[in-house]
Amino acid sequence: MAPVRTCVGCRRRAPKALLVRFASLRGTLTLDPAGLLPGRGAYTCPNAACFERAAGRRAFTRTLRQAVEIPPGISPEG
């Protein structure tokens, strides 16, 4: 079975392949579509609304269990 993850914006569960992974790179939230960064990841749907909601609720910090800076211009939309 395909692995399932939860979008930290809308809380919907979806196959991992349909979500976008973010991880912390030295304290900065970083898009990690290939899943190359080590450590915990946070996933959102590939749309800005879910990303903005997650950022507004500090869901990345909570999910990644560390303070992360969200750089301007970062977006899950390809």
C-alpha of 1 from chain center: 22
- Candidates 20, 29, 42, 50; binder of Zn ion (CB under 5 A) is 50
Residues with Cβ within 8 Å of residue 43, at least 6 apart in sequence: 5, 6, 7, 8, 16, 19, 20, 21, 22
- Alpha-carbon distance values, 56 to 46, 48, 50 (Å): 17, 12, 10
Of 6-14, 25-33, 57-65, 68-76, the window that binds Zn ion (rule: CB under 5 A) is: 6-14
Closer to Zn ion by Cβ: residue 29 or 45: 45
Closer to Zn ion by Cβ: residue 23 or 45: 45
Using the rule CB under 5 A, is 45 a contact of Zn ion? yes
Instruction: Give the residues lining the site for Zn ion (CB under 5 A).
Output: 7, 9-10, 45, 50
